[in-house]
Amino acid sequence: MDTYALQMKGIVKEFPGVKALDNVTFSVKKGEIHALCGENGAGKSTLMKILSGVYPHGTYDGQIIINGQNVQFKSIKESQEAGVGIIYQELALVGEMSVAENLFLGHELMRKRVINWNEIYVEAQKWLDHIGLTIDPQTKVADLTVGKQQLVEIAKALTKKTNILILDEPTAALTESDVEILINLLQDLRSQGVTCIYISHKLGEVMSLADSVTILRDGQTISTNAIEELSEDKIVTKMVGRELTELFPYEEHVISKETILEVKDYTAYDEQGNKVIDQVSFLLKKGEILGFSGLMGAGRSELFISLFGGLKGKKEGTVIIDGKETNIQKPADAIKEGLAYVSEDRKRYGLVLGMDITKNTTLAALNKVVKLNIIDQALEVRSATDITEKMKLKAPSLEAKVGQLSGGNQQKVVLSKWLLNNPKILVLDEPTRGIDVGAKYEIYKIINELVQQGVGIVIISSELPEVLGMSDRVLVMAEGKISGEFLREEATQEKIMTCATGGKKNEYSTSNS
Amino acid sequence: MNIQHQTVEESKKRELSFKFDMQSYTLIIALVLIALIFGFFTGGEFLSSRNISNLFTQMSVISVLAIGMTLIIVAGHIDLSVGALVGLTGGIAAILQVWYDWNTLLVVLCAVVVGALLGLWQGWWVAYRAVPAFIVTLGGMLIFRGILIGLSKGQTVAPMSDSFKKIGTSYFPYIPGYILALVSIALLVFWTIQNRAKRKNMGLMIPAAKVDYGKVAAYSFFILLATYMLNRYLGIPIPILIVLALAAIFIFISNKTPFGRYVYAIGGNQEAAALSGINIKRNTLWVFITMGGLAGVAGVLLTSRLNAATVSAGNMYELDAIAACVIGGTSLIGGKGKIVGALIGALIMASIDNGMSMMNIQTFWQYIVKGLILIVAVWLDISSKK
């Protein structure tokens, strides 16, 4: 087993002004799952783009050896022909086409220059069986869950006779149960001899799945180790190059007796009239961090988007903010009531990527810098400067377009935008998704500061360690209902997962006030 | 002020001026090039006072449309009906005056209001009924042209009263022209001083005095030069004054008011805008109402210049207006675009028409050249981003 499927030696890649990769060495043994870890900007994606031919031979220095043979890819197609398949974080499937059509897109099975659909469906079924996905190959991809789409992507790569499979953050958008299916599949593929390169920020998965780990930092290879020699802490230390005292800087704080948000018997429907939220009741105190856990599709995001006035369907129930009953119909109402919702998909729902930082920051609070219906631009820049400084935003200038910022800094812009409204209640939906360790830590610090100031905070997160690490209290949702509630001291991953998967309902432990 | 803060501010300044220059340079260089080429081939006649005056008058109708079209496109929509709407509002103005003897003021008001109402109608379909603007305004193009033919019974309606004719054909005379130029320069200086004081007050870094006042000096020079050139002929044409006034108002709206900001946000990312508490529907509706009103103004200008309303008036103007926006750097995806750019785009298009006619090149060439310029302009824009 000691032969290498892939060796990349002395890889140097320069962009104008930046050395993205500096003499990187990366060796992957045949048939192993090899994790590639590093902070955002460490060079992981660049390295994979070189391997998959996105950056053609000649635009970088160094040597790539696949199965003992020197290769020089000039295009993505050449790398595919050599058996390298890459699956990006953003899936590359055509939603309006069927699974079978997607599987063979670009290399359709032909008979006399005409597509042979029967053969495609039969072949597609074989591949789906092969990866253990029980769906009809004629299903439209858009109708599948993200988790299943991911599996279809893998099947698609396999149809191209891929023997080195690269997965870039494959579980970022998956639920815990889908993650498990994916992990099982990868283990199956390993036993069949497929080599897999696994890029992930989720170190728990890396520890349970990978055989070895290579860590990149600032464009250089820091180390390659067998998994037995590592721990999560060791990986983090190597990634950031410094000792992080703790992953979740939870600070003891005083939770006020005052309730800032009370939701009673809240039921919401989508536009088609399906019930998405079912009789939900909960309380949030001033200065409390309330975690919301649950599987994807459990209705956590929908609950808060609906409370925020962003869902179109009918809704019933009572929402009391700061002792006053409210009637929120649209986001503008919610903003007036002191509610802020930081979406899980910042690029889609949080930011106008083509606008600069200043304008994004003031978008939801323009009335604060407007006099007589005219924007006071000096005041606007002043406000944006102050708030982004507080967030420790790193940007070339406030005139920079947000689209050019890293994920962590984009998230800080979204936070700045909502904090400019001085919200009483801040809902953070997956606040650290796709963000590197350093920026995560800073965002947790900001959460701590806000809670000290008496803001009521809701954290919706699919990452259990995050929910457990940051919350004073955890609510679990399943199928639109609240299925469990735990205080910080009593919450464990197992208990939460049991409730989230619809297991036994736990006793409610808070008293109504 | 701590040091870190100042560096952010400083680099911000530098980038600000740099970006501004880059974008306007390409357009202005293109414009200067076109002027020089035509100037050369027409023996200087293209750059004569008389021709510049004509050129500005010719571009006025499309310019008014391009101002509104910029907002429409920035908001992520398109309006294919403006040509027909120009014809219809101009036609209504003519019919009311020629057949019913309405006075000029009332007729103008009526044309603008009808334009705005029809804009409201289209905006309602787009904003509240979620029908794509392409479809709604394609329908509008047919509907408005149809109404025009019906109302005018297919005839040309003429002649207009003297006061109506004056809107599109008279000139702002010599002395008041200079006074106007000086007043606008004074305002420019005043605003610059005020803005600098304001930023200083807020503790923000201010651009170097050289940069700020250098810009003021450059603008002042161009204002005086243009006034001088136009005054050497008959004065400043009223149509171009109308265009400049409207441009000033809408540049102010797009930069300085929440409505303007929201239009850019909606075009840039509608979902994020909605979750920021912005009323997408109402703002979209207003964009279309504005476009309709401006089409009314353009209709009045056109009828006044032609001294008649015809059933084919304004035909294809929507495409010229869209082309002007696109040449001026407006992105059809939405979220990006400037009114100044659209005006320069309109000037480039008008120059090509005008210059090629002066060179006695056959009309068909004008179409071909304008088409090529449109494609090349967008290609330049795209490739400059790579």
Judge: A332–B278 Cβ closer than 8 Å, yes or no. yes
**Buried b vs exposed e over B186-206: b needs ≥16 C-beta within 10 Å?**
eebeeebeeebeebeebebbb
Domain boundary among A206, A240, A274: A240
For the beta sheet containing A289-294, the strands, ordered from the edge strand earlier in sequence to the opposite edge, are A339-342, A425-429, A456-460, A289-294, A473-478, A481-487
Domains and CATH numbers, chain B: 45-173+235-385 (1.10.3470)
Residue A513 has pLDDT above 60, yes or no: no
Token pair of A301, please? 């995001």
What is the predicted pLDDT for the residue at B259? 96
Residues of chain A with C-beta less than 8 angstroms from the C-beta of B329: none
Q: Count of CB contacts below 8 A, A vs B?
A: 103
Task: Report the SS3 class of residue A205.
Answer: helix
Three-state SS for chain B is: CCHHHHHHHHHHHHHHHHHHHHHHHHHHHHHHHHHHHHHHHCCCHHHCHHHHHHHHHHHHHHHHHHHHHHHHHHCCCCCCCHHHHHHHHHHHHHHHHHCCCCCHHHHHHHHHHHHHHHHHHHHHHHHHCCCCHHHHHHHHHHHHHHHHHHHHCCCCECCCCHHHHHHHHCEECHHHHHHHHHHHHHHHHHHHHHHHHHHHHCCCCCCCHHHHHHHHHHHHHHHHHHHHHHHHCCCEEHHHHHHHHHHHHHHHHHHHCHHHHHHHHHHHCHHHHHHCCCCHHHHHHHHHHHHHHHHHHHHHHHHHHHCCECCCCCCCHHHHHHHHHHHCCCCCCCCCCCHHHHHHHHHHHHHHHHHHHHCCCCHHHHHHHHHHHHHHHHHHHHHHHC
What is the predicted pLDDT for the residue at B263? 97
Judge: A310–B274 Cβ closer than 8 Å, yes or no. yes
Residue A28 has pLDDT above 90, yes or no: yes
Residues of chain B with C-beta less than 8 angstroms from the C-beta of A412: none
A364 touches chain B (CB under 8 A): yes
**Residue closest to B12 by CA, chosen among A388, A419, A188, A412:** A388
Judge: A331–B19 Cβ closer than 8 Å, yes or no. no
Q: Is A250 a member of any domain?
A: no
Which residue in the block uniquely carries the two structure tokens 């032909």? A110
Q: Are residues A236 and A161 in the same domain?
A: yes
Token pair of A462, please? 């699919």
C-alpha span between A43 and A23 (Å, rounded): 11
Q: Is A99 a member of any domain?
A: yes
Task: Report the SS3 class of residue A431.
Answer: coil
Task: Give the angle A218-A220-A222 at the CA atoms, nearest 5°.
Answer: 105
pLDDT digits (tens, 9 = 90+) for A430-474: 998 878 778 888 899 999 999 999 999 999 998 788 888 999 999
Give chain B's mean pLDDT: 90
Q: Are residues A327 and A356 in the same domain?
A: no
Q: Helices (H), strands (E): how many in chain A? A: 16, 24
Q: Is A246 a member of any domain?
A: no
Find the CB nearest B15 among A335, A364, A399.
A399
C-alpha span between A119 and A113 (Å, rounded): 14
Name which of A355, A369, A375 to mutate to probe chain B: the one with the most chain B Cβ atoms within 10 A of its Cβ: A355
What is the predicted pLDDT for the residue at B386? 53
Q: Which residues lie closer than 8 Å to A496 by C-beta, 6 or more apart? A: A293, A464, A467, A468, A474, A476, A484, A486
C-alpha span between A133 and A151 (Å, rounded): 8
- Nearest-CA distance A41 → chain B (Å): 21
Q: Are residues A233 and A86 in the same domain?
A: yes
User: Could you tell me the pLDDT band of residue A17, with boundaries at 50, 70 and 90?
Assistant: low
C-alpha span between B279 and A335 (Å, rounded): 13
The residue of chain A nearest to residue B265, with distances taken between CA atoms, is A352
Longest Cα–Cα distance in chain A: 76
C-alpha span between B210 and B216 (Å, rounded): 10
Q: Which amino acid is at A116?
A: N
Q: Is A450 a member of any domain?
A: yes
User: Could you tell me the pLDDT band of residue A243, with boundaries at 50, 70 and 90?
Assistant: low
What is the predicted pLDDT for the residue at B73? 97
Q: Is A304 a member of any domain?
A: yes
- Nearest-CA distance B238 → chain A (Å): 29
pLDDT digits (tens, 9 = 90+) for A141-194: 988 887 888 889 888 888 888 889 999 888 776 777 788 888 888 998 899 889
pLDDT digits (tens, 9 = 90+) for A476-508: 998 899 999 999 999 888 888 788 876 544 444
The residue of chain A nearest to residue B267, with distances taken between CA atoms, is A352
C-alpha span between A14 and A55 (Å, rounded): 11
CA atoms within 13 A on the CB side of B151: 23
Name which of B2, B12, B266 to mutate to probe chain A: the one with the most chain A Cβ atoms within 10 A of its Cβ: B12
What is the predicted pLDDT for the residue at B18? 45
What is the predicted pLDDT for the residue at A265? 95
Task: Report the SS3 class of residue A388.
Answer: helix
Q: Average of pLDDT values for B347-371?
A: 92
Report strand pairing: A473-478 vs A456-460.
Answer: unpaired
What is the predicted pLDDT for the residue at B8? 45
In Å, what is the CA distance from A170 to each residue of A158, A197, B64? 16, 11, 51
Helix (H), strand (E) at residue A25: strand A18-29
Q: Are residues A228 and A289 in the same domain?
A: no
Domain boundary among A213, A240, A267: A240
Other CB atoms within 10 Å distance of the CB of residue A148? 19
C-alpha span between A288 and A257 (Å, rounded): 10
A355 touches chain B (CB under 8 A): yes
Q: Are residues A388 and A452 in the same domain?
A: no
- Nearest-CA distance B259 → chain A (Å): 9
- Nearest-CA distance B167 → chain A (Å): 31
What is the predicted pLDDT for the residue at A247? 74
Q: Are residues A17 and A117 in the same domain?
A: yes
Residue B350 has pLDDT above 60, yes or no: yes
pLDDT digits (tens, 9 = 90+) for B200-252: 888 888 888 888 899 899 999 999 999 999 999 999 999 999 999 999 999 99
Q: Average of pLDDT values for B373-384?
A: 82
- Nearest-CA distance B8 → chain A (Å): 6
Q: Are residues A456 and A328 in the same domain?
A: yes
Which residue in the block uniquely carries the two structure tokens 């979406």? A343
Q: Are residues A170 and A305 in the same domain?
A: no
Task: Report the SS3 class of residue A50.
Answer: helix
A338 or B4, greater pLDDT = A338
- Nearest-CA distance B341 → chain A (Å): 18
C-alpha span between B293 and B116 (Å, rounded): 4
What is the predicted pLDDT for the residue at B83? 97
C-alpha span between B340 and B320 (Å, rounded): 16
pLDDT digits (tens, 9 = 90+) for A337-393: 999 999 988 999 999 999 999 999 999 999 999 999 999 999 999 999 999 999 989
**Residue closest to B100 by CA, chosen among B163, B160, B175:** B160
pLDDT digits (tens, 9 = 90+) for A254-307: 888 999 999 999 999 988 888 889 999 999 999 999 999 987 778 899 999 999
> With left for phi above 0 and alpha for psi between -120 and 50, is residue A158 left, alpha or beta?
alpha
Which residue in the block uniquely carries the two structure tokens 């609510």? A475
Residue A12 has pLDDT above 60, yes or no: yes
A385 touches chain B (CB under 8 A): yes
> With left for phi above 0 and alpha for psi between -120 and 50, is residue B334 left, alpha or beta?
left
C-alpha span between A433 and A280 (Å, rounded): 26
Find the CB nearest A397 among B8, B201, B258.
B8
What is the predicted pLDDT for the residue at B5? 42
Q: Which residues lie closer than 8 Å to B384 by C-beta, 6 or more apart? A: B26
What is the predicted pLDDT for the residue at A281? 96
Residues of chain B with C-beta less than 8 angstroms from the C-beta of A400: 15
Q: Is A40 a member of any domain?
A: yes
pLDDT digits (tens, 9 = 90+) for A37-75: 887 667 888 899 999 998 999 889 999 999 889 999 998
Q: Are residues A288 and A388 in the same domain?
A: no
Q: Is A345 a member of any domain?
A: no
Judge: B275–A310 Cβ closer than 8 Å, yes or no. yes
> What is the tally of structural domains in chain A?
3
Rg (CA), chain B: 22
Q: Are residues A146 and A183 in the same domain?
A: yes
Q: Is A249 a member of any domain?
A: no
Domain boundary among A398, A422, A446: A422
Residues of chain A with C-beta less than 8 angstroms from the C-beta of B5: 385, 389
C-alpha span between B344 and B328 (Å, rounded): 6
End-to-end CA distance of chain B: 37
Q: Are residues A316 and A356 in the same domain?
A: no
C-alpha span between A51 and A48 (Å, rounded): 5
Q: Average of pLDDT values for B151-178?
A: 93
Residues of chain A with C-beta less than 8 angstroms from the C-beta of B12: 397-399
Find the CB nearest A363 among B204, B276, B335.
B276
Could you check whether the bond before residue B173 is cis, i.e. omega within 30 degrees of 0? no
Judge: A352–B15 Cβ closer than 8 Å, yes or no. no
Domain ranges, residue A406: 351-422
Q: Are residues A226 and A298 in the same domain?
A: no
Rg (CA), chain A: 24
CATH of the domain at A476: 3.40.50.300
**% of chain A residues with pLDDT over 70:** 95
> Where does A52-187 show beta strands of DSSP type E?
61-66, 69-71, 84-87, 110-111, 114-115, 164-168
